[in-house]
Amino acid sequence: MAAGRRRILFACTTAFTMATLYRGLFPYLERHGWEIEIAIGGGDLSGFNPADFGDPVIHQLTIERELSPIKDIGGLASFVKLLSSRRYDVIHVSTPKASLLGSIAAFLTRNGPVVFVYRRRVYELMSGVKQRLYINVDKVIAALSKKVVPISRELGEQLVGDGVCKREKLHFIGSGSSNGINVDRFAPGAEAEGAAALRAELGIPADAPVLLFVGRIIGEKGVDLLPEVHARVKAQIPGAHLVLVGPEDDRDPVNPETLDYFANAPQVHWLGYRSDPRTAYALGDLFVFPSYFEGFGNVLLEAAAMEIPSVAFDVSGVREAVADGVSGTLVTSGDAAGMADASIAILSDPALRDRMAKAGRERVVREYASAVVHEEIRKLLEAIAERGR
């Protein structure tokens, strides 16, 4: 390692998650004297475009998403082997399994210190023994970490309330988010030509309003409510189309009736996963997000950056990403009729929609731009590395 430079290891369970969550951060840190290495559990590495990720050293370890004692012992061993051979000024862990194995390995090898970026309470919708197990896992990671960085203020308060972490160990990055939004990339007018071509390809008339959802097609995102929301909006605005972007996940499948609606209902278009969703965003007039809980809800910020107001549920992780009455409207969790009514109100009032669109963009640029968030991350990492020395 060159004199004066610091080395950091970013650990994440899958390559897909790493490529999704850290775009743009590594080159920024490299310009400020950091050597970047990443530890992942495998997957397609083609998503690490050098323009977005620089040229990090990549270590592929044995990390499985699902609980598997035998495989997890192997995963811990691979982490221990790596951390025994290389020293890091900071170990930055994220996603549950990589955080657990990485923090334990750091403790066993006296490597680190560890920064634990906390993205979501995976136990939010659990109960009983299973919920207690996952809370205890988070407690272990937090105890082995120098700092715990919740990606929203409310999430931090919940961690303290759940007994996962003491308040003095928490550190917040600006107004929230873990990586910020590239406001030059997600900007009004971006991908306009592509959006026009996609609209024509899908057979959506130029003047037809588009409800947009971006996210995994799973139960906890409230996707099963979207057919009712769309049907109610269509009853008042007959030309309204619904466009969905995101993959299925068999760990939390939606109802068969929902899939049937997406496949066969008129004016519905499911585009599947897209590595670059900007064309779809540029197609949208209103972002609908019926998720029951989030760590923060980055897609809401991406939509706002492209001047698309949102209608979402008033739940943890969402009410910080959407400024109610400013960048969108929040409605009671689970209220599909309320979501439809709020959508109709915004789509039927162009002046309101435009006002929310402009205010949402201004808010993202001011508080959540990646340049702002990356600088906060750099300051935190440098302070921790200095204390570690």
For the segment 76-98, what is each residue's pLDDT rounded down to a tens digit? 999 999 999 999 999 999 989 99
Establish if 1 belongs to a structural domain: no
DSSP label of 255: P
Establish if 307 belongs to a structural domain: yes
Residues 362 and 374 in one domain: no
Phi, psi of 75, rounded to the nearest 5 degrees: -65, -40
Q: What residue numbers bound the domain in which 274 lies?
A: 192-367
Residues 155 and 211 in one domain: no
| Per-residue pLDDT band at 175 (split at 50, 70, 90) | confident
Establish if 380 belongs to a structural domain: yes
Establish if 300 belongs to a structural domain: yes
Residues 268 and 242 in one domain: yes
Establish if 186 belongs to a structural domain: no
CB 346 within 8 A of CB 353: yes
Distance set, CA 199 to CA 193, 302, 346 (Å):
10, 20, 21
Helix (H, G, I), strand (E, B) or coil at 333: coil
User: CA 266: distance to chain centroid?
Assistant: 30
What's the CATH code of the domain at 274? 3.40.50.2000
Residues 40 and 94 in one domain: yes
In this predicted structure, what is the pLDDT of residue 362? Answer: 97
Establish if 299 belongs to a structural domain: yes
Q: Strand runs (DSSP E) across 258-359, as ranges?
A: 268-270, 286-289, 310-313, 328-331
Q: What's the domain count of the chain?
A: 2
Mean pLDDT of the chain: 93
Distance CA 281, CA 185 (A): 12
CB 89 within 8 A of CB 385: yes
Strand partners, 276: none
User: What confidence tens digit (pLDDT) does each residue in 113-143 have?
Assistant: 999 999 988 888 788 999 999 999 999 999 9
Establish if 185 belongs to a structural domain: no
Prior bond of 266 cis (ω within 30°): no
This prediction has a pTM of 0.90
Distance set, CA 247 to CA 15, 39, 120, 208 (Å):
16, 24, 19, 25
Residues 232 and 332 in one domain: yes
